[in-house]
Amino acid sequence: MFSAFLKILPEKYIKAIDNSGRKAYELLDNLLVWANTQTDGISFEPQKLDLKKTVKKLISLNEYNAVSKNIKLSYSISKEISIYADLNMLNIILRNLISNAIKFTNSNGLIIVNAEQENNKVIISVSDTGVGIKKSRLQKIFDISVKTSTIGTANEKGTGLGLLLCKEFVEKHGGKIWVESEIEKGSKFTFSMLCCSNKEIEEQKSDKK
């Protein structure tokens, strides 16, 4: 019956329903993932990944959210970069940073995912032209003891767990995450992860045995 109902709905309404479902899923998924991290219930299996391929997929998944707010979502990765990371954790980090950027960017805004290799590290950033973050909040934005969830530019809601997961997962990889922001000009969330050759990956695997 529900499938028959969907057939008579205009496409824009079907997309809106799908979008709402995705947002609800992201909120629930963050809660479940966070609960698992507190009980060591989430596995950590780093592997060699194609960063550009991963970013393109996540941008595609978030494209409707951006288009619905008339926001341009793009990426800039100068060359093929292989990153040594847990795919599930990397997806959660990027998903939350991109989702937050969309949440706090007004119509006609711009969001760019950028990645550059610096020696044996990859520096990844998600920049937006959004509303920015007050200095008083910047110092506490990754602090679990402080409630940082705020309403987005289109009244989007959140749990406040997204950035906490980002910090925990980045640090799990031995990296760092930080943020720069200016009110009414936008924010830039940046994190580092290991970029290594096949030889270095094998050496790390051997160290774990």
For each of the chain's 209 residues, which pLDDT tens digit applies?
445 444 444 454 444 444 445 555 555 555 555 555 554 667 889 999 999 999 999 999 889 889 989 999 999 997 788 999 999 899 999 999 999 999 999 999 999 999 999 988 999 999 999 999 888 888 888 886 665 556 666 556 555 678 888 998 999 999 999 999 999 999 999 999 998 655 455 565 555 55
Can you say whether the dihedral through the CA atoms of 127, 82, 80, 58 is positive or negative?
Answer: negative
CA pair distance 110, 187, nearest whole angstrom: 11
CA pair distance 102, 64, nearest whole angstrom: 11
Domain limits of the chain? 2-208
CA pair distance 105, 187, nearest whole angstrom: 9
Per-residue confidence (pLDDT) for residue 27, from 0 to 100: 52
Please give the sequence-ordered ranges of beta strands (E in DSSP) within the chain, or none if there are none.
47-50, 72-77, 82-85, 110-118, 121-128, 177-182, 186-194
CA pair distance 193, 117, nearest whole angstrom: 10
* DSSP notation for 103-151: HT--TT-EEEEEEEEETTEEEEEEEE-S----HHHHTTTT-TTS-----
Question: What kind of fold does domain 2-208 have according to CATH?
Answer: Heat Shock Protein 90 (3.30.565)
59 in Cβ contact with 188 (< 8 Å): no
CA pair distance 131, 82, nearest whole angstrom: 33
Whole-prediction pTM: 0.77
Residue 119 token pair: 């020696």
